[in-house]
Amino acid sequence: MVPGWLTDLAAGAVRTRVPAGLRPPANGGGRPAAVLLLFGEGPEGPDVLLIQRSSNGRVHAGQPAFPGGGVDPGDDGPIGAALREAEEETGLDPTGVEVVGTMPELYVWRSNNRVTPVLGWWHTPCAVHAASPDEVESVERVPVAELVDPANRLMLRFPVGGMPHPAFRVRGLLVWGFTAGVLDGVLAAAGFEQPWDRSRVEDVPPEVVDLAARG
């Protein structure tokens, strides 16, 4: 059964206000894409599925992310794309997932994608792995309790201008950028967020800057 916090999150998502910097271009530009925010019940309580993209990738190299990618003509929209990409990247069995809803479309200027986050409940979990090594280095089910632990939260600042943005250090991953921003909002909206020190600001590690510059 889908937990109440997730159905409430999906119901409230349609009223979510998209920040100006993430609003899709008014002219309809950008490629339609989708990501799967897949929540399940693990040994440590609710968790979410994350991947780490290959450091050899052309776009978002080395970044932790939600499974996902571009919407293809045969996908029947963003839900189909999110499930297909998750299956290709992690070996996920889509029949074990109940789609609960979608969030408003978000624009990622670096990749020129208009991304629809798809909310899913993993009612029948299966083994997952880096099923597409050219695209994915690793796959993790990250407990929500670790994501909201104040010790694992920080603000990350790029060396050249810009405001610091939320980030997470979990399971050996530094989660930042688009993925961290979505997680930050979703965890707060679902009522999981704990008070944390937003004055804890760190510079982005040089290796992350190098990877970001490539994609």
CATH of the domain at 53: 3.90.79.10
What percent of the chain stands above pLDDT 70? 93
Q: Residue 146: what pLDDT?
A: 98
What mean pLDDT value characterizes the chain?
Answer: 92
Q: Residue 205: what pLDDT?
A: 84
Model confidence pLDDT, tens digit, residues 109-161: 888 999 999 999 999 999 999 999 999 999 999 999 999 999 999 999 987 66
Band of residue 18 on the pLDDT scale cut at 50, 70, 90? confident
Band of residue 206 on the pLDDT scale cut at 50, 70, 90? confident
Q: How are the residues of the chain apportioned to helix, strand and coil, as percentages rounded to the nearest 5? A: 30, 35, 40
What is the spatial distance between Cα 21 and Cα 121, in angstroms, rounded to a whole number? 29
pLDDT value at 17 more than 90 = no
Residue closest to 84 by CA, chosen among 132, 42, 47, 40: 132
Please give the tally of structural domains in the chain: 1
Q: Residue 187: what pLDDT?
A: 97
Going from the C-alpha of 11 to that of each of 77, 118, 132, 134, the distances in angstroms are 20, 13, 33, 36
Q: Residue 175: what pLDDT?
A: 96
Kindly give the residue spans of alpha helices, DSSP state H, lying in the chain: 4-13, 78-90, 144-148, 177-189, 206-214
What is the spatial distance between Cα 44 and Cα 89, in angstroms, rounded to a whole number? 24
Q: Are 26 and 15 a contacting pair, CB within 8 Å?
A: no
What is the spatial distance between Cα 29 and Cα 26, in angstroms, rounded to a whole number? 7
Band of residue 19 on the pLDDT scale cut at 50, 70, 90? confident
Band of residue 213 on the pLDDT scale cut at 50, 70, 90? low
Enter the DSSP assignment of 205. P
Q: Residue 60: what pLDDT?
A: 55
Q: Residue 57: what pLDDT?
A: 57
Q: Are 77 and 175 a contacting pair, CB within 8 Å?
A: no
Model confidence pLDDT, tens digit, residues 51-96: 999 876 555 567 899 999 999 999 989 999 999 999 999 999 999 9
pLDDT value at 27 more than 80 = yes
Residue 114: CB atoms within 10 A of its CB come to 21
Band of residue 30 on the pLDDT scale cut at 50, 70, 90? very high
What is the spatial distance between Cα 175 and Cα 140, in angstroms, rounded to a whole number? 12
93/209: higher pLDDT: 93
Number of residues that this document lists for the chain = 215
Q: Residue 209: what pLDDT?
A: 62
Going from the C-alpha of 37 to that of each of 9, 56, 140, 183, 215, the distances in angstroms are 12, 24, 13, 9, 22
Q: Which domain holds residue 50?
A: 4-214
